[in-house]
Structure 1
Amino acid sequence: MALFGLFSKGKKEILDKGLEKTKESVLKKLTRVILGKSKVDDEVLDNLEEVLISSDVGVETTVRIIERIENRVAQNKYIGIEELNQVLREEIVSLLKENNIDYLNENELLKKGIPYVIMVVGVNGVGKTTTIGKLANKFKEAGKSVILGAADTFRAAAVDQLVIWAERVGVPIVKQAMGADPASVAYDTLCKAKADNIDVVIIDTAGRLHNKINLMNELTKIKNVMKKIVPEAPQEILLILDGSTGQNAYEQAKQFTLATEVNALAITKLDGTAKGGVVIGISDQFKIPVKYIGVGEQINDLQVFDREDFVNSLFN
């Protein structure tokens, strides 16, 4: 079992509460779609398409979902309005399962005594530092030793915030002076992790996206330096996206996946937005697993993403 499987998914009510704004918005729109209808016809499907697109599911993903429902209608000849919600849930879950990519088995690496290194990327303001702190807490609760590396040396507040989280969670942190070489911080962090037999290393990086070439060069340099200490590092490149930004999150995902080999996603701030459909679209379009979702401000409100739980909570 992968290490993330050790984490508690959190209570269902936390997820329901975190998705409340999106759910309320979606269900209101769905109610208008089915009002006065007895069966799923072309008009219902056209209106459903508008509902999904306006909920930030994304055009491409919405088209795939609608095509699946059309096929169901064609096969069954008749689908009543009362069945639409169930069919919608089933087809979205099925779509997301088909796009699933297996995670690395962190436990297998840990058994070999290899630090599991997570390099966290994302623009400023998406909740990157907070997610790192919550993630460190989850690993610690799972019985793993953790160390943080403050490699976002271009923004003083980033280092200060990470120090606060390290103290709050009770894990060590490696930092240098403002403006220091980020790769140097990452190098020192991995040296300490290896010397102290630490299980999990989480490296913060600068949240800048003004120039893709510079971003790519910087992230590549950090990765190459870490490989000198742990050849397998970083096993995970975790991109943090702000779910409340809707379509802007798609653009950020596009830019960062072009700049570096992102292999896991965390989508934050879903509790404060009606744009939770963005999770479905990003998971589908980028073929990169959504590993975590943020559904609240409390330390335990970072949840392991479960496709079925998410879709059922959103549309039930």
Structure 2
Amino acid sequence: MKHILLIITVILILNVSCRGKGSSSASSDSRHDSIVAIDDNRSFEFLKKLGIEYESLIAKDDSLPAPSDRDFLLTTHEQCSLLRGIITPDFAPSDTASAYLVAVRQINDNVILCQYKYLFSDAEDVYIATYDTDGHLIDAMFAGNDWDKSDLLDNPSDSTELICAEHTLIYFIADHEFTYNYEYKEIEHNINTDKDITTYSQMASMTCNINPNGKIDITMEDGSEDGAFRLCSDCKKEWKLMNDMLSLTRYPYSDNKVLDRWNDLGNRVDAASYESFVYHFFKYVFLPQPEKVLKWVYDNRDYKSMTLTRPLGFYYTYTPQSRKIIDEASPT
């Protein structure tokens, strides 16, 4: 019943908002500006204005670097200036998290790209974002967790370890075009001989183009797998659904079809996958762009299954802080 009331409330609020949207669009746009305008056309000048010594962070190779302990720790002021609209619309630093600038790269005369890592608890999230030369955020995308990591899954025998390894790479094939590659492997490691045999591998890849205006478009997606999946032999369906969720979390924020894809995915999740669906959608889709999600809910109220209201209803009901975020994102 509470979920139904939430849906009705959201629709009524957005109905009022849509009728008065013309007068509020200017203030809404300015709210997402990362940094106030700076009268200087040098590509990285806005970083210098913030006090960031960016020279050593300029990516000179074709690939963006993996996060490391050499990354630039951002101050509270720098985080608020750069990460607003990436983590949340009105980003505020947390006492339990820290943010780092990993690399910067010039895309064209008017657009630069920044790579960040965001550390909280024992997790590491990576983001990339495009800005104009005045430091206004243009577009962003979540670029995965922990770009290089491995974990022990099992000990099939006294001399054998089953290890899973994950690797992420962003590789520029042109100044404005890159591939995003995520690879997962299950490896049998022989302790006695120190030899490895890959028993299962999976690759997910997408090619992205950064337009002259800084918006990021996906131009191609691809994937492959080889070998026998052993992590959970009786949960291959859940594994497939989980991979679909992870793929959608990495879509650019400006993508205009991603919410339809999330809705379709929500119709396929089962009880075993529901919690992951709720978590990933709320954290990586709703929190960065709550107004976009609520507008989609309103615009599709008559002919969609309203699957995307379930994560909102869950967090609205059980977490007071999330309730505040949802209320504030609803136009008045």
Q: TM-score, normalised by structure 2?
A: 0.26
Query: Whose strand proportion is higher, 1 or 2?
Result: 2
Query: Whose helix proportion is higher, 1 or 2?
Result: 1
Q: TM-score, normalised by structure 1?
A: 0.27
